Each structure stands twice: as C-alpha cells, then as structure tokens.
C-alpha cells in the first residue's frame, strides 16, 4: 500500500510539473489571440513606411500592412512607437511581439531574432540639398570626404560604419541620429552634406520638406524587408507568413505600394 501511495504521489508531482512547464512555455500566438491584441513596435519617423499623420495617428505602408495582418489573425494591433535601434531589443525582451520598420535582414540581427518572409524590396539613397552640385556615382569612394548623416541601427549605419572601421571614412564625418526626419532637417540647415537612408523615405521627405533632392539610388546595404519576430517562435512566424502569402497573392501589397510609393 505504501508503494502505491508513493507511486501516486510521484505521478501527481510529475503531472503538476508538466502542467507548470506547459503554462510557462505556452504558445505566444495563443496568448496573443486570447488577449485579442498583438503588440507591434515601430519607429514612426520614416514616411511613407511609418509616420504620424496630421491627426496624430500612426500610419504608413508598414502600418497598414501590419494592421491587415492583425485583422486576419483576428486580433487588434497595439502600436508601440520606439527609437529604431531599440526595436530588436524590444522583441528580444518580450516587450513587443513583433516589429516592423522597413527592416532588412542581416546576419547579426538573425543571431538574436527571427524574420518573416520578405514583404517588400528597397534601395538605398543619398540625399542632398537642392542647390548642391554633388554627384555620387561610386558611393564607396565618392562620399569619403563628405559629412554624412544616418539613422542609428539601420543597415545604412552598418554600411557606413564598415567604411569607418576600414579607415576609409573619417569617423568625424559620420553623424548618427535617432530619427530620419532629424537628419533631413540638419541637411537643410547645412550641418551635414548628405543623408543616407532607404530610397522611398528619402523621396517622401524631399517632397514633404522641399529643398532636397535624391542624387543616388541603388542597393548597397538594403534590399528585402521583413517583419522582426521572436527567435524560435515558429508558430507565430508560420501564422504571419501565411497571411503575407495571402496578401501577396491577392495583390494587397502591390496596391498598398501604389498608394504610398507612386509619384
């Protein structure tokens, strides 16, 4: 009889441990659906991908795309506006469930987070004031004596930093900013000579602010864009990738691109 009670006690303990482990390691996707909310981080300073409109609403290509993904997952998107270089850490630390902000894949980022399938492909751009006579044909050599502004934590930042590390671009020539609109304003005020960013936001800022022009477009550091997801969360990644595939097949993303990127 004692052996029976000992066996029963062990079974109950193991059962409780398994239940506790299952609760602690439960599916993030289930938790999101149960809460009815997915927390998504962005840096709303990058029109037309993400920005705050005149009414104070967060909007843009990425924002509309993610709102539609949330809708199809049956949840509401709760937007968390953060500095761009805090978004990866936000996903890592579980402060947000995902991040979308014109992110490009990189091996360094892939070590700490996962990425969705590609939803859009971008180019890099160099922007100057409208009165500038600067010409950039070979960026790796033509920009080395220029004062350049770039957004912290972007792939453009990585590309320029590599030039600094190689001793080609003087460290004092590179200025980093939290927001791309701050770069554009410093460019207009003559504090820097050129801005490096994604091409689409560069062209949007040139139209919005006036007095600026894009003098070079090409793929240097950027390219395909992905949604940043928690590392190893296959279930959430699968669900989002399935929705992205639907949106591509239906032409939703193409229509969104026309809405935000057409001249």
Assign 31 to helix, strand or coil: helix
pLDDT at position 106 is: 87
- 49 within 8 A of 102, measured Cβ to Cβ: yes
Domains 28-120+224-261 and 124-218 share a fold: yes
- Calculate helix-pair angle for 61-73, 252-261, nearest 10 degrees: 150
Dist. CA 168–CA 148, nearest whole Å: 13
Cα torsion 98, 104, 108, 110: sign: positive
- Per-residue pLDDT band at 262 (split at 50, 70, 90): low
pTM score, two decimals?
0.70
The arithmetic mean of pLDDT across residues 2-11, rounded, is: 40
Both tokens of 222, joined, read: 């950027």
**Domain 28-120+224-261 architecture:** 3-Layer(aba) Sandwich (3.40)
Residue with more model confidence, 258 or 201: 201
The arithmetic mean of pLDDT across residues 216-231, rounded, is: 93
Q: Give the residue from 213, 241, 247, 215 showing the smallest Cα distance to 227.
A: 241
Locate the domains of the chain by residue range.
28-120+224-261, 124-218
The arithmetic mean of pLDDT across residues 177-183, rounded, is: 91
Q: Name beta bridge partners: 127.
A: 195, 214
Dist. CA 235–CA 237, nearest whole Å: 5
pLDDT at position 26 is: 67
- Per-residue pLDDT band at 230 (split at 50, 70, 90): very high
Q: Is the pLDDT of residue 1 over 90?
A: no
Q: Is the pLDDT of residue 7 over 50?
A: no
The arithmetic mean of pLDDT across residues 217-238, rounded, is: 94
**Which tens digit of pLDDT belongs to each residue from 50-104?**
999 999 999 999 999 999 999 999 999 999 999 999 999 999 999 999 999 999 8
Cα distances (Å, whole numbers) of residue 248 to 138, 236, 237: 34, 18, 16
Dist. CA 113–CA 18, nearest whole Å: 27
pLDDT at position 121 is: 87
- Per-residue pLDDT band at 259 (split at 50, 70, 90): confident
Dist. CA 107–CA 114, nearest whole Å: 10
**Which tens digit of pLDDT belongs to each residue from 92-131?**
999 999 999 999 888 889 999 999 999 998 889 999 999 9
Dist. CA 150–CA 221, nearest whole Å: 12
**Domain 124-218 architecture:** 3-Layer(aba) Sandwich (3.40)
Dist. CA 82–CA 43, nearest whole Å: 5
């Amino acid at each position: 009889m004692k052996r029976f009670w000992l066996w029963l006690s062990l079974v109950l303990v193991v059962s409780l441990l398994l239940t506790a482990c299952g609760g602690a390691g439960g599916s993030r996707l289930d938790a999101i659906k149960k809460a009815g909310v997915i927390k998504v981080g962005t840096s709303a300073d990058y029109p037309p991908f993400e920005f705050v409109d005149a009414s104070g609403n967060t909007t843009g290509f990425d924002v509309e795309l993610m709102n539609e993904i949330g809708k199809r997952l049956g949840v509401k998107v709760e937007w968390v506006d953060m500095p761009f270089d805090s978004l990866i850490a936000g996903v890592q630390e579980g402060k947000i469930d995902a991040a979308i902000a014109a992110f490009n894949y990189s091996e360094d980022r892939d070590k700490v987070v996962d990425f969705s399938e590609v939803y859009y492909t971008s180019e890099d751009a160099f922007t100057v004031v409208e009165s500038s006579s600067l010409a950039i044909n070979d960026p790796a050599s033509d920009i080395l004596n220029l004062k350049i502004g770039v957004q912290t934590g972007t792939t453009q930042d990585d590309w320029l930093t590599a030039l600094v590390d190689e001793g080609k671009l003087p460290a004092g020539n590179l200025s980093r900013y939290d927001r791309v609109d701050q770069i554009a304003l410093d460019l207009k005020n003559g504090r820097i000579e050129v801005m490096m960013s994604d091409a689409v936001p560069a062209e949007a800022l040139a139209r919005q602010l006036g007095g600026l022009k894009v003098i070079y477009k090409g793929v240097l550091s950027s390219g395909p864009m992905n949604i940043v997801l928690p590392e190893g969360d296959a279930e959430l990644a699968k669900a989002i990738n399935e929705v992205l595939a639907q949106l591509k097949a239906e032409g939703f993303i193409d229509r969104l691109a026309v809405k935000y990127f057409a001249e």
